[in-house]
Amino acid sequence: MSANLSKNDLLAIFEEIKQEQATQFPLSERFIKQLFKPPVLSKAKEYVANGQINWLEHNHDFSVIDASVFGNQGSTFTQHIEIKKLANGFAVDRHCSCNAKTNCRHLAAVLLKLKIDHSGDYGQDYIINDWFEELTTLKQNQSAQAKNVLLFVLDVENNRVILTPKIAAFSAEHQYTLGRNLTDQQLNSFVTPSDLLETDFRLYSWIRSQNALGNLELRGQWGFNALQQLIASQRLFFGRSRQSIKADSAEDLSFSWSHKKDLIQLNVSLTGKQSWFLLKTTPPTYLDTESLRIGRLRTPLSGEEVAHIKAIPAIHTANFDRVYKQLAANFGDGVIPHYQSSERKKIKRVADTCAVVDVSNSNNQLKLTLTFNYQDGNYAPNSAPANILNASLENTVITELTNLGFELCKGALQNEFVFNKQSVIHQHWFKYEVLPKLRQRGWKVTDKKLVIKKSITNVSLDVKRGKGHQIVSKIMISNAKAATVLANDNSEFQSLNRQSELFYYYANGKQFGVITKPAFDTLTDFKDRFEFIKTRDELLIPLSFLVHLMKMSCFAVNLVDDSLESYLAELDAPATATTVLHGLNAGVRLREYQQQGVQWLQFLKRHQLGGILADDMGLGKTLQVIAFLANARQREQAGPTLIVCPTSLVSNWQNEMAKFASSIKVTTLFGSARIEQLQHLAQADCILTTYPLLKRDIAYYSPLYFENIILDEAQYIKNDSAQVSRLVKRLNAQFNLCLSGTPIENNLFELKSLLDFAMPSLLGSQAHFKQHFQTPIERDADSDRAKELKSLILPFILRRTKAEVAQELPPKTELIKEFEFEAQQKDIYQSITDSLEEKMVDLFASQGAQKSKLAFLEALLKLRQICCHPRLIDEHTSARSAKLDWLSSHLPVMLSEGRNIIIFSQFTSALDIIAQQLASLEINYSLLTGQTRHRDKMIEEFTSGQTSVFLISLKAGGTGLNLTQADTVIHFDPWWNPAVEKQATDRAYRIGQTNPVFVYKLIMANSIEQKVFKMQQHKQALVDALFTEKSMSFTKFDEQQMLSLIKS
């Protein structure tokens, strides 16, 4: 258009627009809304609509406005407004003669009137738009005006699922209380109670009308339809749970026989579901009370028949064949298998008739003609001669068709059925999933007139190497975007997708697509487990998972990256010959298993992976790391190496570095003089610091890129939410390594925290890990999940035990010494037990188990202290300790035999009492606790032979020390964590030990210590689940279990 206008014409148009804008009201609707609250604006709109503005004057630019407005009570109020233009907007000075003065409805009405009258087309649009906004609000108010709603609660009574309605206040966030019962009047009313959502009461009234007086049950086809509406309401619950029940996939109803003596019992079950109950709907449905899900049962039986079969009595073996023929005659061949059934595909025919069906889809309507074959003759339902008619079996066949979704045609013909959904996807499902199963069970099926292509879409993954330890897997689905297919958000397809066992259906333009159900389920699991980039249809999967990926049979996996081929080849290759390591001091030799450990570290780094070196304590993890670092220094490094260790191990690392690889220049950041060193970290070769100092100095480490980060005693980061864990995981390095002889001390989340540092995203999110691994393994002792986890992490955890790799190590003998309490000691223990038990029962009743944990732990502490010595809780008592008496009589004998003894205790006060006793016996000793200032001096006294007894607190000396001079270890008191005790024992039982080692565990019988010792077996099982083939049992404590630890 501008091509036909001259420059002067355009200038004239711009001037006209400018003048028009100058005459328009300057304040925007948004600005006015900021001046007044919504209720004030709402009243102002009424004033404008009712013409209550008496008079209104303003100057040409609206900078000064005067007006008068009629109030609702007949009063008149005057307004004066001044609008000033500012650089970044407007300032509005306003005043009204009403009591509100500056923010009243009268001022708002004046400004709205000006906005409507002096905004051109906007004013007209504003009025109509405002009308539509009010209409929307009105509609929302109509649907939300009910204050209360019904909660539909399912409960189980006498193995029947009962429905009970309860009233609760409406919650937009679906956070509901338990609700209250309806009154008798409300239960029997035909009128919706006031303030109750009408649609809820209508649904309840319909369910009530289908039941006789008493409990409400969902039965038959109406019950199935009601169930869909109840689930859609998001207010269907089970018991006292207020997590709404969701729809789940259909499940096959499984029948099996168990044989006991001369009786055979029929069992009815659902695969993978332990706690389920039957709803007698048509089709029948199950309620899974653990997952709070409801789904269909794939079965030809009605809900009533399933309930009746579940109650079948045991059958004598001699009568089985006769009874089984009766079952087959009633339900048809293959519905209930014979207890001696074979694996053949064709079901052995036992029944005296079979169903004959002819299927077609003329006019896109799925139809089916049903007859029954008796003695080579076909008859319509219920029309065979009376002497051969099997009405029970015919009823089962018709029930199965009803369960599948067929309805009997109305009219004279009583053998034609139509499918209740006119959908091509249901026709595909029926032809390629349902009919083959019916044929297998002996039905005679003709489906030539059911014309629909199978056309299963191929799914594949194109895999290449990503950043770090990830692989990028692009999901390839022909003519479809994977993110759209996996969304599963098309309501038209969701119901069938839950029902289908073999196929997953999705919209593809105006047509539909089909992929196999295993492919969909696997990709959905991947999407939940790994990071999914929707825009590119790419999954970011840990490299470790590639081996599992290549074994997938539900879709093709194409490697489009040569580096992945070489990775898999090296993973499968046998161990290579020992290579020469460079950079170590002259004379340093590694054992064969240590050499293999270094090669494993090199393999990880070569493929940009990380790992956990989890060798048993005493096998030389430090030496393997030093050899790895020394050899790697032959090549240029991208940055310094950072080693983080507990404070107690700093000198050990310094000594080992000097001993094995003095060419590595170690910068030790320790003490207050480290500030200058922190300024030059980037120039360092190898940095050694502690966990507490790393937290304090993190600002200096964060900007750096490290060649390697090595965490010694990595269980320091076992708590994922701890500050040190979060900080260390933010550091950047080419290679991350954890050293820990005990990667799991309490639960699997500790292992995950370590692997999240070494191999981020290997185990997925916390939520997925808990659902997929931790809960099944720890709570349910699921050996398959334990094996899956083990195979997933195995390439990245190297663990060798002493028994496997160090046969020259002398044997270790563990002796459990149980003692009876001394008389006075027993009285004190019993009196404390009684008072604590009473206190804990009261606490549990008033605040529950969770909030009473601190008091419970304090109670356990007091009981454990009495077991050591009553003086730990009362220093003035004259009571004796059975353990101390044993030490007093046995230590002199052991020392006379030339033994060197370590005594561990968690309580430094117990060590002080032992020290006093040793002094009275004139036995020299060394003492190491957290308060010991000269640790090295104490260690030197014992290792040089100046003393033969070393008293050590478990926390101060349980890790990092090499005390192979000792041949006797005494645990004065047991610790609930066996891994910590084992670490302490391994101060003596390690490489370099030349004498047999004796380990004594002192335990008081019939006490908290004895119960703790038994509990250790459960803790050890958690470790064994990953590194051995032993079974596992791991449980949480409830109130009864907690009290049982206190009770004597």
Does residue 283 have a cis peptide bond before it, meaning omega lies within 30 degrees of 0?
yes
The per-residue pLDDT for 987 is 84
Give yes or no: residues 652 and 789 share one domain.
yes
Give yes or no: residues 771 and 685 share one domain.
yes
Give yes or no: residues 645 and 766 share one domain.
yes
Give yes or no: residues 324 and 391 share one domain.
no
The per-residue pLDDT for 850 is 60
148-157 and 236-238 beta bridge pairing: parallel
Domain finish residue from 415, 431, 454? 454
Number of H helices, E strands in the chain: 38, 41
pLDDT tens across 686-735, in order? 999 999 999 999 999 999 999 999 999 998 999 888 999 999 999 999 99
The per-residue pLDDT for 358 is 94
pLDDT tens across 813-854, in order? 787 787 888 889 999 998 888 877 777 777 766 776 566 567
Residue 667 domain flag: yes
Question: What's the domain count of the chain?
Answer: 7
Q: In what order do the strands lie in the sheet with 148-157?
A: 180-181, 160-169, 148-157, 236-238
Give CA–CA dist 641/735, Å, rounded.
Answer: 9
Give yes or no: residues 793 and 680 share one domain.
yes
Give yes or no: residues 942 and 953 share one domain.
yes
Could you identify the residue written with the tokens 């606790």? 929
Give yes or no: residues 535 and 670 share one domain.
no
- Domain with residue 694: its CATH number is 3.40.50.10810
Residue 13 domain flag: no
The per-residue pLDDT for 700 is 92
More confident residue, 124 or 420: 420
Chain-centroid distance of CA 361 in Å reads 45
Give CA–CA dist 374/384, Å, rounded.
Answer: 8
Domain that holds residue 473: 459-572
The per-residue pLDDT for 714 is 92
Residue 301 domain flag: yes
Does residue 1 surpass a pLDDT of 50?
A: no
pLDDT tens across 203-230, in order? 999 999 998 877 899 998 899 999 999 9
Does residue 472 surpass a pLDDT of 90?
A: yes
Residue 6 domain flag: no
Share of the chain above pLDDT 90, in %: 35
**Residue 557 confidence class, pLDDT cut points 50, 70, 90:** very high
Residue 8 domain flag: no
Give yes or no: residues 387 and 399 share one domain.
yes
pLDDT tens across 1004-1014, in order? 888 888 877 77
The tokens for 828 are 């004190």
Domain finish residue from 422, 454, 486? 454
Does residue 1022 surpass a pLDDT of 70?
A: no
Q: What is the mean pLDDT of residues 424-437?
A: 92
Give yes or no: residues 978 and 989 share one domain.
yes
> What's the Cα-to-Cα distance from 457 to each of 424, 497, 505, 553, 554, rounded to whole Å?
16, 16, 10, 15, 12
Give CA–CA dist 365/373, Å, rounded.
Answer: 26
Residue 339 domain flag: yes
- Domain with residue 1041: its CATH number is 3.40.50.300
**Residue 923 confidence class, pLDDT cut points 50, 70, 90:** very high
Gyration radius of the chain over CA positions: 40
pLDDT tens across 336-393, in order? 888 765 544 455 555 678 899 999 887 778 899 999 999 888 999 988 898 888 888 8
Residue 579 domain flag: no
Contact (CB, 8 A) for 330 and 396: yes
Residue 3 domain flag: no
pLDDT tens across 133-142, in order? 666 666 555 4
Contact (CB, 8 A) for 364 and 419: no
Give yes or no: residues 446 and 463 share one domain.
no
Give yes or no: residues 759 and 849 share one domain.
no
pLDDT tens across 239-275, in order? 999 999 999 989 988 898 988 888 999 999 988 788 8
pLDDT tens across 928-945, in order? 988 888 888 898 899 899
Does residue 429 surpass a pLDDT of 70?
A: yes
Give yes or no: residues 167 and 181 share one domain.
yes
Give CA–CA dist 196/194, Å, rounded.
Answer: 5
**Residue 235 confidence class, pLDDT cut points 50, 70, 90:** very high
Domain finish residue from 772, 805, 838? 805
DSSP 8-state assignment for residue 532: E
**Residue 1035 confidence class, pLDDT cut points 50, 70, 90:** very low
